[in-house]
Structure 1
């Protein structure tokens, strides 16, 4: 599976019924594929890591990661742009670089693109931020890793878009743990 360069990529893991989190946050095991020893998944992870230049996330995702020590061993060694109304009193543990952006997703993506240079900006945390980026026309490509699970009353990734988004299928790869789908956003 080829990974594009220099694009804004929405990259999330979701259930078969489109949920990225359960009613009480992330269901256990949704992201297990990322740490899977299967050669196919590890090759996918490596391609994604090689292409990423910056990340955009929401404050809720940041807070969840910070409260669970999620940034201590963060595999994403790039600057993270957090869309937030304020800055936390204390930074998250770990050596991840965070920039808090209070003037919206457009500004966060613009700053992330500048930091990423020729590499991809990945929108990788929070359904609401992903929806805002899609609604604003900021996303060039969507990559979803679909896990074989159904989540009851979960937070759906593609709700609240404001209008339809047309996609062109670019690639698909199936492993026992996850099916990787890749789409170009048609403008």
Structure 2
């Protein structure tokens, strides 16, 4: 079984979006990566077997046709109280899970086999997964920006998490940090 990896881009002050969900240019590095960032992206993409995200992240992506050319061609498990009236455009496979993050992660692990499950969308889902002890590794790509009144990734965790640094890659656009969650 692969790892459960929280993988998000955030600002220097810990925000994954602006106060109204706008990304504030956080993901620009991913869509036009430098050679070094491209290497990191390819390495991470090769390891992904399934993704877990929240309904707000899904709805934002669907409303912008963000799944039409989705680079993550794996099954996506969406933590949600229901299913959308219309499916998102594109070829991405979605499973809507209404019984919590534990169930979503468990289903994603079954789908991923030996590959990683990536928690890839929404600070609330990330926080729930961390609080439930489901995350094995945290990967954050830190962009050199500060976002005022943004949505913070590491709020509402409940307890202190102990991390072990397992990797750092610095580029002018973003610094990639990798941590093992010490359990």
- What TM-score, normalized by structure 2, do the two folds share? 0.98
Could you tell me which residue of structure 2 aligns to residue 99 of structure 1? 95
Contact kept? 1:49, 1:76, Cα under 8 Å:
yes
Q: CA deviation at 1:113?
A: 0.2
Paired residue secondary structure (1:177): coil
Contact kept? 2:8, 2:141, Cα under 8 Å:
yes
Q: Distance in 2 between matches of 1:103 and 1:28?
A: 32
Contact kept? 1:20, 1:26, Cα under 8 Å:
no
- What TM-score, normalized by structure 1, do the two folds share? 0.96
1:51-130 matches, within 5 Å, as: 51-130=47-126
Paired residue secondary structure (2:52): strand
1:3-82 matches, within 5 Å, as: 6-82=2-78
Paired residue secondary structure (1:24): coil
Q: CA deviation at 1:24?
A: 1.4
Could you tell me which residue of structure 1 aligns to residue 168 of structure 2? 172
Number of residue-to-residue matches in the alignment: 183
Contact kept? 2:5, 2:119, Cα under 8 Å:
yes
Q: CA deviation at 1:35?
A: 1.8
The runs of at least 4 aligned residues of structure 1 exceeding 3 Å deviation read none
